[in-house]
Structure 1
Amino acid sequence: MSVVASSSLSTPRAPVPVVDILRLNTCGSVDDGKSTLIGRLLYDSKSLMEDQIEALERSADITGGGQINLANLTDGLRAEREQGITIDVAYRYFATPRRKFIIADTPGHVQYTRNMVTGASTANLSIVLVDARLGVIEQSRRHTAIASLLRIPHLVVAVNKMDLVDWSEARFNEIRAQFEEFLPRLDIKDVKFIPLSALNGDNVVEPSPHTPWYVGPTLLGHLETVHIASDWNLGAFRLPVQWVNRPNNPTDKTLHDFRGFSGQIAGGIVKVGQKVMALPGGVVTTVKEIHTYDGAVPEAFCPQSVSVVLEHDVDVSRGSMLVGVDALPGGATELHAKVCWMHPRALQRGKKFFLKHTTSTVQAIVTEIESRLDMATLEAQPAPADLAVNDLGEIRLRTAKPLYYDGYATNRLTGSFILIEQGTNATVAAGMLLAPTELVKPEITDYAI
């Protein structure tokens, strides 16, 4: 998170041009070509430095045909290169004149599903690769289901290795039909199918002469133009407070009494003069000033990082949340959530954890395991005894104090959490909160009247 520099509070900076940032991840089964696809995107879009290209050319992994192994651009671990697989999440960054991109290359093995969830958790778009020879397999369904569970707004089904099936339009349509058979059961509204060859670069950056029957955009063309402006929740203001900003600058008397509440806006728009409530205290006050790294602004919106100054001295600290009074979040101690279990030891009823939600941490206990998702059928199996590593399921929790949140379907930032094992501090689960049903309302003190 960008925080306010003390000098920026008094000296406005020149405005910086805003460029869209698209966060995306690749997923799919082993050897579907995820790392090669990212390497091809970087290579053909001229996003590599000369020393990176030279290192690839010097690499011992150059094939007998003299072809560079583009997967090495993301597979940096020795074990990954030796086995030709992806184990950990690798992030790569590049830009075109239209947009900036942050790419997460995620593993395809079933045992690394938790790594895939980590890489996809902040994505605007997910690319599911399918080997044209194999078609839709369990991992294809698993990763598509996870993309739906994480409510990733946009999905690209990249049918890779089309050169190995002689660029057959019939085969492409067959795979598309396999996907469309189960997609209606998932909550994904924007799906694009693209035939390509990551190894040879067909339809990745440049259109392929081998697919005259395909009239859609290339992969990069789609990434540059997909509409993401509406992906952020701009309806209800939410600011989880990460830090109370008290600049220690004795030479600047204007900052002597400055108290700003800093964090990344998780939803909505905030304006100077707007009424806001500080949770969990329930104090209502008015926004006096809004500061960003580039200086004071009259308004700010998700996902900007800001410091908000309030009209009244209120008890607000890390873990508090500033919210708009016109649309309050739900508050509850009884939580209903979907989780991806990440620990080798199975999750069982009665287990206690720390639950980290935005910037606050509370103690929680699992009171019930309601269901587990069967990846073969995408049907829920009711009342399982436990959740094993990489399982997806629904659970109920009870927290030591009320949690103020939105359902994950409403706001991905305030509707998500992680479970942390007590004693080891290991992250054992990623969770998505369902909309609260029983609300705990704070005692409201209104200073803004």
Structure 2
Amino acid sequence: MMSTGERVLTYVAPSEAALNSAFRDGYSVICGLNVEHLIEAARAALRLHKTAAPNGIRILAHGAYNKVFLIEFGSTSLIARVPLPQSAAARDPIRLKSYTATLEFMALYRPDVPVPRILSAQPSSANPADVPYTLAEFCKGTSIAHLEWLNMPNTSKGIIVDLLAEQWAKMAAPVPFNALGSIMADGPSTSSWMWQGRSAPQRTFRIIPMIPRYAHDSTTLLDPSMETRCGPTTIAEHWHYHLDAARHSIANIPPDDDEKHLFVQCLDTLRELVNIASSLDPLMDLGKGSAAPGVALMHVDFAFWRNVLFSADRTRIEGIVDWDDAIVVPRDIAAQYPEELTHHAWPPDPADVFAIPPGTLFEDTSFWRLSIEETHLRKRFRDALRKFDPELAALYTDRRARFRRRVDHLVTQGWRYWAMDIDWILNTAMDEARALSQNGTV
């Protein structure tokens, strides 16, 4: 019973459609979210009284796979991340459990990397909010848009690159796993104690087979047994798994397709290439010893226009988000650049450019100037990285590592990408592989 004068705070939660309208004209993607129950979950995660009313909820951002809601209670706020329903795989419970486990691993073992801490998670729709979700602390800061980056003076770009290198060195430090793939966790969730000042209970992290990246409409749901299986213990095993999947996919190409025989040739060549590339590990072979310093956790979407949040004056990194597709790989595979330093869609090791080629048309000069600038920024990234992790920095220029990254890019991207590199695969790659194997040169 209420005492005299006690007032119950009431809050009418907006519908998801109303939040869409407030976010942007014409935005209509619906997750099927019960907003009222999501607010209740946020209140519980923050350990607020059940009558505490939020002073705001809004859509903060959305991508191809998730909508992100900002829920504020006075000076306290959190992020609710809800996978979109368009791709069933985006809501796969195993995928969502691995995402949560990855962030918990980072919070425990990389506490100096500014990742959002998980407060609560529901990997399935079987909850009052009617959707799977994760609730995490709100990372302040904003990403750097393309136009801002293009107009930024070189001194400021250098500061940004130095900051990115420092964080990458921390993230790609060796991890004590002896398998390749995605992170899964056993034991009580850290969300039950992380914000209560208690000692952490036993939390065991392990590696399961690599979850397919970038879920889309044709991505199938994961086999439930995958959650209990161990990831491959060699890079060769990992690569051959992808090539087997490519073989099944190529078999479905109509026999009258003129390119089918070329893809079959590429497949046969890549099988030989991976056998050689797997023996060119610049570090130690995975599996030699209980701890494998030759592997690292890699954020596969490290792009500052999307997932790296900076302070307003661009002198600090406030947060690194979007860890869905993070994977444990050999460290030489993890030796990659931020997306903006590789002209976005290019493979991980673009050719360095130091001058505009003679005879270049005027309308093409801006492209070459951008390539020259990126060449110098990549060198600065390596130089900055060398201050924190000389071994990792050396892997960027090691010829064996570069070769293995190219093979990994082709194998894991799938046969639809082979056409862009078909000349290298069929005419150049094998000679390069044999030369590296014989000389062992860097």
Q: TM-score normalised to the size of structure 1?
A: 0.24
Higher strand fraction (1 or 2): 1
Which has a greater percent of helix? Answer: 2
Which structure would you say has the larger RCO, counting Cα contacts within 8 Å and 6 or more residues apart? Answer: 2
TM-score w.r.t. structure 2 length? 0.24
